[in-house]
Amino acid sequence: MAILVDDGTRLLVQGITGREGRFHTGRMIESETKVVAGVTPGKGGGDFEGVPIFDTVHEAARETGANASVIFVPPPFAADAIFESLDSGLSTVCCITEGVPVHDMLKVSDYIKMTEATLIGPNCPGVLSPGKSNVSIMPGDIFLPGNVGVVSRSGTLTYQVVNELTQRGIGQSTAVGIGGDPIIGTDFIEILKKFEADPETGCAVMIGEIGGNAEQLAAEYVQREMQTPVVAYIAGFTAPEGKTMGHAGAIVSGGESTAEAKSEALRRAGIRAATNPSEVAELVAEALGKA
């Protein structure tokens, strides 16, 4: 079973005619994702690799039955693209765009609370359920269908951990890259809740990094609510204080935001925390009884 996207996902691509949109749409089609529409204002009536292009998300959803979107539009227009998807009733919205202004995301954050949709991102790799649907920029060939759910603030660490799992023959139910910006649509706890509710996810992997306290809040939730075993890894043990590392939200600004503090909070909650990405697969194997 998968969360957020599965073989019933009908995807539309916002910004399908741009460089990134064209490239990743091609890869998603190759992975047998049902890409049913593209949206680029002013280019409606055309197509990309047989995918019809519409001027608006509302029109595209009405004509094709799309229920999810992935966004590749430039940062100044990303919030409007998110609003358009939400207003069109799409259930899952993945915003890949990096550099979305924080004040724009404040408006999105308030608005999405009035909907039943799930927003992943921005500045994220998206969502991939192996063998079912790829709504992401993730390399599908490293994934293997299985029962381990992965949620991560880091795209590249997601790829590394998934590859380590696959190399050990441990498949994944769904991988979710939630993004590393200060304001994102969906946090660790929301995704962990979905994994806990999924009877076919037997273990969850949480990949965090320096900055903020999202990992500590997730640790409290896991200790209080989850029966599904969780393995974690926190990146950034050598990060200097006050310097942004990779993501806008990855900055050591106080004692609780360091990798050491986060890892200790995880361990206190009974979560096995790996000391490096390669160790994650070993701990997952032990949790699943496959060591």
CA distance 254 to 291: 37
Task: Answer yes or no: same fold for 1-123 and 138-291.
Answer: yes
Superfamily for domain range 1-123:
NAD(P)-binding Rossmann-like Domain (3.40.50.720)
pLDDT value at 237 more than 70: no
Task: Report residue 220 as tokens.
Answer: 């409290």
* Mean pLDDT of the chain, nearest integer: 92
The predicted-structure confidence for 22-46, as pLDDT tens digits, reads as follows 999 999 999 999 999 999 999 999 9
Domain 138-291 belongs in CATH node 3.40.50.620: no
Instruction: Tell me the average pLDDT across 142-165.
Output: 96
- pLDDT-derived band at 153, boundaries 50, 70, 90: very high
> For the chain, which residues make up each domain, given as ranges?
1-123, 138-291
- Identify the pLDDT of residue 247: 47
pLDDT value at 238 more than 50: no
User: Of 177, 149, 180, 190, which is closest to residue 280 (Cα–Cα)?
Assistant: 149
How open is the CA angle 160-204-134, to the nearest 5 degrees? 60
pLDDT value at 192 more than 90: yes
- Identify the pLDDT of residue 21: 98
**Mind telling me the catalytic residues?**
247
How open is the CA angle 62-64-67, to the nearest 5 degrees? 80
pLDDT value at 105 more than 70: yes
Tell me if the pTM is above 0.85: yes
